């Protein structure tokens, strides 16, 4: 009940749960599964989980589960050597074991194993009514040499490193599950440039609905961690994702993996001290919201959780009593509410018509300006984001049309009520390669979103 109230108040559309299938080791976070058809008893009974999903659905919140068909642990009470010999896993350890993880790999060449996994995916969607599955570690399934040194893996029949059986499994899995359940999402955590992950199997795609954009995540975090002085030399990290955003149906992710193992929490990745950290994170989240692709934040990132995520302890919710943390939380809420209100932010996420740079090359000032459009081209949004603490009182931004540009949100105020919103009128004259422009004094770390 508390989760649902919070998710609704903030403006999220879905929750994604880390692995909840039964697992023996807390430290695996649910990603080393022994009971594929059992919600873990840590949180209650199967009927309790049904109530959880149903309650979220009744309040308009979707539920996505992390699902792990890539590997399973060696525990004797699990699937390993199930009948005394390799049954679910490949018999040859060069295919049947992950050296890095110390786990077994499913034998995707066996029809019985494929049926087991596909029926399990269907079980969660049809029995528990979850809205989608995020498939963990897809790359480890697609590549025979994933995490293996020379001599530790066997090439396929064509001499390549692709696991042909796993490729066929994905096509079969996604065709069956999405065919039986219209609207169900299948999301791939795929960290390489494997082609056509979200294309239909009829055109040799894998058939997923969405793909996690891990490349964007790495570039974004590397840029955000930099001292602002050095950002002008790394401007390309923030623009590169816009060269390929139409190639797949992407989700931009800042997941649990980015805030564990000494990688720092999101707020502590930011350069500077005190309020500068919060200003940096506001600018980063604004850029993320405007960038094409669905969005995923891990818990605690919306209010500036300070310590790294730890499965053994709760989040530091008391931080929201602090002015800076509460201000960040309110700002993220305002961003999410804008996202829900304006189709320009999600309707054409993998269409060139949905995004236009105003100025992608203002690297010396580390300012980004761009436009998001929907199918009507009537309620477009202009983004301006300054990634340095240097104020630009003489800033002008180029725009494509004559008329009023209404400020919906900025970093100092958050979202404006309709009665408070200020409009800026464009004047004719080339700026940023556009035929019109208007002046907007841009504060240090300033962000602004305008409707036109």
Q: Which residues are catalytic?
A: 136, 189
**CB of 208 within 8 A of CB of 187?**
yes
Q: What are phi and psi of 95, to 5 degrees?
A: -110, -25
Task: Please report the sign of the dihedral spanned by the C-alpha atoms of residue 154, residue 159, residue 162, residue 165.
Answer: negative
122 three-class SS: helix
Nearest to 156 by CA among 170, 166, 148: 166
Report the 10 Å Cβ neighbour count for 135.
24
Find all residues with CB under 8 Å of 315, minimum gap 6, and list them.
299, 300, 305
C-alpha to C-alpha distance for 165 and 107, rounded to whole angstroms: 8
Burial (0-12, 13-18, 19+ Cβ within 10 Å), 335: buried
Find all residues with CB under 8 Å of 31, minimum gap 6, and list them.
18, 19, 23, 66, 68, 136, 137
Tokens of residue 423, six digits? 């409009």
C-alpha to C-alpha distance for 408 and 450, rounded to whole angstroms: 6
303 three-class SS: coil
Alpha helices in 15-69 (DSSP H): 46-58
Identify how many contiguous H helices and E strands the chain contains and give both numbers: 12, 21
Helix (H) or strand (E) segment spanning residue 439: strand 434-439
Alpha helices in 293-429 (DSSP H): 323-341
Pairing between strand 381-386 and 447-451? antiparallel
Q: How many residues in the chain?
A: 452
Helix (H) or strand (E) segment spanning residue 369: strand 367-372
C-alpha to C-alpha distance for 31 and 48, rounded to whole angstroms: 21
Find all residues with CB under 8 Å of 164, minimum gap 6, and list them.
156, 157, 158
Q: What angle do CA 415, 420, 426 make, to 5 degrees?
A: 90
C-alpha to C-alpha distance for 98 and 129, rounded to whole angstroms: 32
């Amino acid at each position: 009940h508390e989760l649902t109230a919070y998710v609704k108040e903030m403006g999220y559309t879905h929750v994604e749960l880390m692995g909840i299938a039964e697992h023996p080791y807390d430290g695996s976070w649910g990603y080393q599964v022994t009971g594929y058809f059992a919600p873990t008893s840590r949180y209650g009974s199967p009927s309790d989980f049904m109530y959880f999903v149903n309650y979220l659905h009744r309040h308009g919140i979707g539920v996505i589960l992390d699902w792990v068909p890539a590997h399973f642990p060696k525990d004797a009470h699990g699937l390993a050597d199930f009948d005394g010999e390799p049954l679910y896993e490949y018999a040859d350890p060069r295919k049947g074991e992950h050296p890095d993880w110390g786990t077994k790999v499913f034998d995707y060449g066996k029809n019985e194993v494929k049926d087991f996994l596909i029926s399990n995916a269907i079980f969660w969607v049809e029995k528990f009514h979850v809205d989608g599955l995020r498939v963990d570690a897809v790359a480890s399934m697609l590549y025979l040499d994933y995490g293996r040194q020379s001599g530790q893996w066997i090439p396929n029949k064509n001499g390549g490193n692709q696991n042909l059986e796993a490729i066929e499994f994905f096509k079969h899995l996604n065709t069956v599950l999405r065919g039986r359940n219209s609207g169900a999402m299948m999301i791939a955590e795929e960290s390489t440039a494997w082609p056509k992950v979200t294309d239909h199997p009829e055109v040799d795609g894998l058939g997923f609905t969405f793909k996690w954009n891990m490349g964007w995540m790495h570039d974004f975090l590397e840029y955000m961690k930099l001292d602002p002085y050095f950002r002008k030399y790394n401007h390309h990290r923030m623009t590169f994702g816009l060269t390929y955003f139409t190639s797949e149906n992407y989700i931009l992710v800042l997941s649990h993996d980015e805030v564990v193992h000494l990688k720092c929490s999101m707020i502590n990745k930011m350069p500077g001290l005190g309020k500068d950290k919060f200003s940096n994170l506001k600018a980063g989240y604004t850029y993320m919201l405007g960038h094409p692709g669905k969005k995923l934040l891990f818990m605690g990132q919306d209010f500036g959780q300070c310590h790294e995520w730890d499965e053994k302890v709760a989040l530091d919710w008391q931080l929201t009593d602090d002015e800076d943390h509460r201000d960040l939380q309110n700002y993220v809420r305002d961003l999410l509410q804008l996202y829900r209100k304006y189709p320009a932010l999600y309707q054409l996420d993998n269409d060139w018509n949905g995004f236009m740079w105003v100025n992608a090359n203002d690297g010396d000032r580390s300012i980004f300006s761009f436009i998001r459009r929907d199918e009507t081209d009537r309620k477009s949004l202009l983004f301006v984001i300054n990634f340095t603490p240097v104020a630009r009182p003489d800033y002008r931004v180029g725009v494509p049309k004559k008329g009023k540009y209404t400020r919906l949100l900025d970093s100092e105020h958050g979202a404006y009520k309709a009665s408070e919103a200020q409009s800026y009128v464009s004047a004719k004259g080339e700026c940023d390669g556009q035929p019109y422009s208007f002046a907007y004094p841009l504060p240090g770390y300033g962000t602004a979103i305008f409707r036109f």
